[in-house]
Amino acid sequence: MYKALFFILLSLSLNAKIIDGVAILVQNEPITMQEITNAMAESHLDQDKTVDFLIRKKLEDQEIKSRKITVTDDEVIEEIKRMATQNNMTVSQFYDAVASSQNLTSAQVQKEMKERLLNQKLFQAIAYTHMDEPDEQEIKNYYELNKAKFNHPLSYSTVVYESKQQSLLQQKIDNPMFYSAEIGHKDQTFEYNKIAPQLAELLDKTPLNHFSEIISNGKDGFVCFYMQAVEQNNKDVKLEDIKAQVENMIMSDKREQVLKEYFDRAKLNANIQTLRLP
């Protein structure tokens, strides 16, 4: 009897520990407390936006599984080749550029590319209705309203600070004279056309003689950038030179709107239980 009681109590204890780690259940699939905490640290979003993002991601993953959408390794490699060619790089140079800007290994790049292709196929499966290509007037209007997106610097001269402890980098930002042997640093110049869009966006919004936000280095630590100088591009970007890019951005906005509406409805109909939050 005592032996049976012991095993019952042990089982309850183990189940309690498992449940303690779960924050949200989306169609009975868990989002853990640790996932939320990690995502907040990496994205710098508040808790509500982070939770919304993770629920959307969980619903997308479930939709991909239910529709049996797959992406092969060959498709991933071909897309990487296409992106490298589009940026006038070899595949090796493309990997080096991503490693330099985001500290991602080739395996991590392939993993992110696979997720991107899965998302594209999911959209194609969801968007039953045809989306019209933008006409000349729509392209011109979008360009005029978003000129700032296309006029970008040539390069950014920075000091890159890196540490395994985010708190140490925050101390450095709060007090530039702060020194720790656990913070590495190096001078590095990033050319706009050779870095990932996410890094370009981060550097764009970092003022001269200021630190950027702290971001994950894609491995086991964190990184921030001190902006020393920005080489400006004094030439106006002409619409005819970036017309394809503008069209892609318009279609991307339309695709995201379709997906947002679809998953907003899916979220309303899904069984989502919030157990606890960090």
62/269 Cα distance (integer angstroms): 14
pLDDT tier for residue 139 given thresholds of 50, 70 and 90: very high
Considering the domain architecture, whether residues 139 and 255 belong to the same structural domain is answered as yes
Residue 5 lies in a domain: no
Q: Tell which phi-psi region holds residue 88, choosing left (phi > 0), alpha (psi between -120 and 50) or beta.
A: left
Residue 105 lies in a domain: yes
Q: Print the domain residue range for 196.
A: 152-231
- Given a contact cutoff of 8 angstroms between Cβ atoms, the answer to whether 70 and 122 are in contact is no
169-189 pLDDT, tens digit per residue, is 999 999 999 999 999 999 999
Check residue 157 and give its pLDDT: 95
Residue 122 lies in a domain: yes
Considering the domain architecture, whether residues 175 and 192 belong to the same structural domain is answered as yes
Considering the domain architecture, whether residues 223 and 248 belong to the same structural domain is answered as no
Considering the domain architecture, whether residues 226 and 210 belong to the same structural domain is answered as yes
6/62 Cα distance (integer angstroms): 38
Residue 31 lies in a domain: no
Say yes or no to pLDDT of 105 above 50. Answer: yes
Residue 1 lies in a domain: no
Check residue 201 and give its pLDDT: 83
Check residue 59 and give its pLDDT: 94
Considering the domain architecture, whether residues 135 and 245 belong to the same structural domain is answered as yes
Residue 222 lies in a domain: yes
Backbone dihedral angles phi then psi of residue 46, each to the nearest 5 degrees: -75, 175
Better-predicted residue by pLDDT, 153 or 42: 153
Considering the domain architecture, whether residues 81 and 210 belong to the same structural domain is answered as no
Considering the domain architecture, whether residues 162 and 227 belong to the same structural domain is answered as yes
Task: Tell me the β-bridge partners of 82.
Answer: none
- Given a contact cutoff of 8 angstroms between Cβ atoms, the answer to whether 144 and 225 are in contact is no
- Given a contact cutoff of 8 angstroms between Cβ atoms, the answer to whether 186 and 160 are in contact is yes
pLDDT tier for residue 152 given thresholds of 50, 70 and 90: confident
5-33 pLDDT, tens digit per residue, is 444 444 444 444 444 588 899 999 999 99
Considering the domain architecture, whether residues 127 and 94 belong to the same structural domain is answered as yes
Better-predicted residue by pLDDT, 93 or 141: 141
223/173 Cα distance (integer angstroms): 11
Check residue 136 and give its pLDDT: 92
The model carries a pTM of 0.58
Sign, CA dihedral 252-256-262-266, equals positive
Query: Which residues are CB-neighbours of 241 under 8 A, at least 6 positions away?
Result: none
DSSP E strand stretches across the chain: 22-26, 29-32, 155-163, 184-191, 215-216, 222-231, 272-274
* Percentages of the chain per state (helix, strand, coil), in multiples of 5: 60, 15, 25
Check residue 171 and give its pLDDT: 92
Domain count, the chain: 2
Percent of the chain whose pLDDT exceeds 70: 89
Q: Output DSSP code: residue 46.
A: -
pLDDT tier for residue 225 given thresholds of 50, 70 and 90: very high
Considering the domain architecture, whether residues 114 and 224 belong to the same structural domain is answered as no
Considering the domain architecture, whether residues 194 and 80 belong to the same structural domain is answered as no
Residue 6 lies in a domain: no
- Average pLDDT of the chain? 84
Check residue 195 and give its pLDDT: 83
Q: What is the CATH number of the domain that holds 180?
A: 3.10.50.40
Q: What does the H/E/C string look like for 151-220?
A: CCCCEEEEEEEEECCHHHHHHHHHCCCCCCCCCEEEEEEEEHHHCCHHHHHHHHCCCCCCECCCEECCCC
Number of C-alpha atoms within 13 angstroms, CB side, residue 37?
Answer: 9
- Given a contact cutoff of 8 angstroms between Cβ atoms, the answer to whether 119 and 59 are in contact is no
Check residue 101 and give its pLDDT: 64
Residue 248 lies in a domain: yes
